Structure 1
């Protein structure tokens, strides 16, 4: 297998046109390659500047999970910190987790940030929503978002070898007029549900509004976890003026 390490977007596009397979951190594909055979040409974005940025409102797809720190919102930082083991987090990448993983541990966090994705195809790079990224399995370059008022993240304990643990991610956003909206995303098993509602002062009314939508179909334990997380996030948001 020949591994390419592009240092520019145009170079990465050239390798895509040649049929290079993106590898991310290779934590998810290595076992399959050992079983089924290695591709002739692969490509890693670890040398591409656009895919390695980390800072306010931006996170590159080639950033390793253990590098996700307090330069990004709490919800993303907590999501990255709870993926696998320390060894996995030192090898796995943001893009590999969101696009290549069936668990997609970072996806709920990215959804509540209302993140937009910069993706790379053979003839251009462009910005799109996460739904298109997942549906078409695009090569992710970076995530971008507007800074939220406050965020929160919770992953419930789960038995080893069982279903994926329940994840609840929340973020409160304010528009230019100061109006606040709450975004919630829940991973239940392998499914991710999301909803947005007004971030009013009454947590009970807010959670009742969430129960009236898709999140109301969750099991009782999951709905209780959502209520607890939403109540905490709204309380912290109320202290931010």
Structure 2
């Protein structure tokens, strides 16, 4: 297998046009390739500057998980810190987790941040939303968002051999009318809710019950309620 390492987006686009298969940190695809056979060529964005950005409102697809720190919102930082072992986080990338993984541990955080994706196809770069990113799996270059007022994250302890653990991500976004966003990974399903949060705690919880998040089982719903109360309390102190 030929691993191509372009140093610019035009070079990466050429690799895609030549049929190269995108690869992130290879933590997920390597075993499959060993089982099913290696592609003739693969392409990594680890040398492309646009895929290595890291700051308050952006993170590149080639950024290794262990590099995600206080420069990004709390919800994304804590989500990255809870993925696998230290060895995994030193190898796995943002793009591999969001696009290549079935668990998509970073996706709830990206959803509550209202992130947009910059992606690359053989035809060129473009911007898209997270729904299209997950459904069509183009080559992710970076994620971008407007910073929240506050955010929070909780990952419930997982049972050995059981389904993926429950994840609840929350964020309050300032504006003319503040908005609370909630994203939940329940098994392999992702549920979201977005409601105004200037109606008092009871009003926020009532409105949230009318979203997809309100359909969660009682135990998961209680975790959501606790996280919502916590992030609303912190938002009120700002």
TM-score range relative to shorter protein: over 0.9
Q: C-alpha distance in 1, partners of 2:72/2:197?
A: 22
Q: What's 2:108 paired with?
A: 108
Deviations 1:102-153 (A, max 9, x none): 0000000000000000000112111110011111111000000001100000
Question: Shift in Å at residue 200 of structure 1?
Answer: 2.3
Partner SS, residue 208 of structure 1:
helix
Question: Shift in Å at residue 205 of structure 1?
Answer: 2.1
Q: What's 2:231 paired with?
A: 233
Matched, 1:121 2:121: yes
Question: Shift in Å at residue 201 of structure 1?
Answer: 5.5
Partner SS, residue 118 of structure 2:
strand
The residue correspondences of 1:130-169 to structure 2 (distance < 5 A) are: 130-169=130-169
The residue correspondences of 1:71-90 to structure 2 (distance < 5 A) are: 71-90=71-90
Q: C-alpha distance in 1, partners of 2:171/2:42?
A: 36
Q: What's 2:193 paired with?
A: 195
- 4+ residue runs of structure 1 moved beyond 6 angstroms? none
Q: C-alpha distance in 2, partners of 1:9/1:76?
A: 25
Partner SS, residue 27 of structure 1:
coil
Q: C-alpha distance in 2, partners of 1:112/1:227?
A: 16
Aligned partners of 2:192 and 2:211 also within 8 Å = no
Q: What's 2:33 paired with?
A: 33
Partner SS, residue 6 of structure 1:
coil
Q: What's 1:24 paired with?
A: 24
Q: What's 1:42 paired with?
A: 42
Q: C-alpha distance in 2, partners of 1:161/1:20?
A: 35
Partner SS, residue 187 of structure 1:
strand
For structure 2, the residue ranges without an aligned partner over 5 or more in a row are none
Aligned partners of 2:116 and 2:145 also within 8 Å = yes
Alignment RMSD (CA, Å): 0.8
For structure 1, the residue ranges without an aligned partner over 5 or more in a row are none
Partner SS, residue 109 of structure 1:
helix
Deviations 1:77-96 (A, max 9, x none): 00000001111111000000
Deviations 1:193-227 (A, max 9, x none): 00100112622221121112211211111100000
Q: C-alpha distance in 2, partners of 1:69/1:201?
A: 33
Aligned partners of 1:197 and 1:209 also within 8 Å = yes
Q: C-alpha distance in 2, partners of 1:123/1:215?
A: 37
